[in-house]
Amino acid sequence: MATETEENYIKAIFKITEKNQGTANTNAVAQHLNTSPASVTDMLKRLSEKEYFHYEKYKGVYLTTKGIKLATNLVRKHRLWEVFLVDKLKFQWDEVHDIAEQLEHVDSDELITRLDTFLGNPKYDPHGDPIPNADGKFTLRSQTSLMNLQKGETGIVVGVRNHDTPFLQYLNKICVNLGTKISVVNNIDFDHSKEVSIDDENRVILSQKACVNIYVKKTND
């Protein structure tokens, strides 16, 4: 069994490699985990001996099958616990990350199997991120950034790109959540912001930055 620290390293490497052509370098890992690059180097040496990833001095790391399996299982556990916290315990989507970060390290396959069943085998977490199944497979979904919706088009919010608390709380305030219907009323060209209507009720101006971070599924209305 991997220690909690080891799990956190592997998860960090997984997240970094996802957005970086399959490799993670020392500094990126250090930044992600809020530790010193020196500590990371030490750890990379030790963990690569345990075959979670390949490590070459000065070249960074890339995960092995074993490492990917561990990482996706952690993602699975994290996201299932987030569903539990929001659906069952009525937390808001901006409050669950830190708690799920702890819960994901609880070690029991049976627990996760049963939790999954209890929650109704959800495919997406409270931020719209896909929950890998027990084999590590993600269910992908056709989605686009709200930025890509033209004037007059409508979509249903299915996810967010940014997970930071302030952004999520802002969305709470303007009543945007998963499942919310958003229609583009006007494109404001000079700063690429959009005037949108939310659930056919409120009209709001969303900045380019906000639009980029909201994923929607286009609808025909």
Instruction: Point out which span in 52-60, 65-73, 183-191, 202-210 binds DNA (CB under 7 A).
Output: 52-60
Q: Which of 106, 134, 175, 188 binds a second copy (CB under 8 A)?
A: 106
Which residues have a Cβ under 8 Å from the Cβ of 173 and sit 6 or more positions away? Answer: none
Q: Quick one: which of 15, 32, 35, 138 contacts DNA (CB under 7 A)?
A: 35
Considering only 3, 19, 34, 90, the residue that binds a second copy (CB under 8 A) is 90
In the bound state with a second copy, the residue whose beta carbon lies nearer, of 107 and 200, is 107
Question: In angstroms, what is the minimal distance from the CB of 169 to a second copy?
Answer: 16
- Establish if 86 lies at the interface with a second copy (CB under 8 A): no
- As a whole number of angstroms, the distance between CA 149 and CA 204 comes to 15
6 binds DNA (CB under 7 A): yes
Interatomic CA distance for residues 47 and 196, integer angstroms: 49
Applying CB under 7 A, the span of 33-41, 90-98, 135-143, 201-209 interacting with DNA comes to 33-41
- C-alpha closest to that of 129 among 120, 119, 138, 116: 138
Q: Which of residues 16-35 bind a second copy (CB under 8 A)?
A: none
Distance (Å) of CA 153 to CA 2, 20, 121, 183, 208: 48, 33, 32, 6, 17
Q: For residue 29, which of 45, 41, 46, 47 has the smallest C-alpha distance?
A: 41
